[in-house]
Amino acid sequence: MEFIKNGKRIDKRLPNELRPIKFEVGALERADGSCYVEHGGNKVMAAVYGPRAVHPRHMQEANRAIIRYRYNMASFSVEERRRPGPDRRSIEISKVSREAIDPVIIKEFYPRSTIDVFVEILQADAGTRSAGINAASVALADAGVPMRGLIASCAVGKVDDTVVLDLVKEEDNFGQADMPVAMDVRTGEISLLQMDGHFTLEEFEEALQLGKEGCTTIAEMQREALVQKYQGEGHE
Ligand code: ADP
């Protein structure tokens, strides 16, 4: 498969270009915080409940809140109907996504409580864990959960021996490498880094730098979306 023609990718983007991204803060009324994200062909809803009492109680921690994160792909989110319910992939993504957002949450403020994050993938086109983390991060802020910063995430990869930002499904499935990254761009701390495929050391460094630039752009969009919603309401 030919991925790059005259310097352009299959969806006409440049190698270092993100797909169009849109954040809608507070899209759900019942949740304490929520965010709907469209990231290229991905459509993702994140809902946050809490801080609230932990059930079952034995899971509670005496001096901090616990964070629970459920990533779920709707059965209609992919071309061939996905069997509903958790599978190995969604359990793994839930775990790494929880660990990705965990470092910025000030859990000591809410002992014996839980903060529950639900991420529903309504339409999938590669990079859904990143889109989920971006939505979750904004939904947490919308819920008023105290955070040191926002976590932003995007994938980088390699197709036709070229390092590219933010893969679409064909690039993800049939390319040479796929590496989702999540970070707190204020501190540069990386809280998620996974890799499928192969990079040379130089390509890896180039990819990480490109991922950092992508996350920086996304963090700015997240901040903007929150400011848009809360400006004029007496919030910061
Ligand atoms: P991510 O969505 O974070 O990139 P993967 O690399 O595992 O995670 O998946 C890449 C893409 O492959 C998904 O975004 C989705 O478009 C597609 N995909 C994943 N699981 C399935 C599935 N069970 N059926 C069909 N397509 C899937």
pTM: 0.97
Ligand 1 binding pocket mutation candidate from 79, 80, 169 (most atoms within 8 A of CB): 169
Give the distance (Å) from ligand 1 centre to CA of residue 46. Answer: 18
Binding site membership of 43 for ligand 1 (Cβ less than 6 Å): no
Binding site membership of 39 for ligand 1 (Cβ less than 6 Å): no
Instruction: Note the pLDDT tens digit of each residue in 70-93.
Output: 999 999 999 999 999 999 999 999
Entry field: residues in the chain? 236
Contact (Cβ atoms closer than 8 angstroms) between residue 75 and residue 82: yes
Q: Could you give the 3-state DSSP secondary structure of residue 66?
A: strand
Q: Where are the domains of the chain?
A: 21-235
3-state helix, strand, coil in the chain (%, to 5): 30, 35, 35
CA distance 115 to 101: 12
CA distance 232 to 22: 21
Which ligand 1 atom lies nearest to the CA of residue 132?
A: 3
The CATH architecture that domain 21-235 belongs to is: 2-Layer Sandwich (3.30)
Instruction: Note the pLDDT tens digit of each residue in 139-180.
Output: 999 999 999 999 999 999 999 999 999 999 999 999 999 999
CA distance 216 to 221: 9
Ligand 1 atom 14: the closest Cα is on which residue?
126
Averaged pLDDT of the chain: 97
CA distance 74 to 78: 8
Backbone angles phi, psi at 25, to 5 degrees: -80, 135
Binding site membership of 74 for ligand 1 (Cβ less than 6 Å): no
User: What does the DSSP assignment read for 106-169?
Assistant: -GGGSTTEEEEEEEEEEE-SS-HHHHHHHHHHHHHHHTT--BSS-EEEEEEEEETTEEEES--H
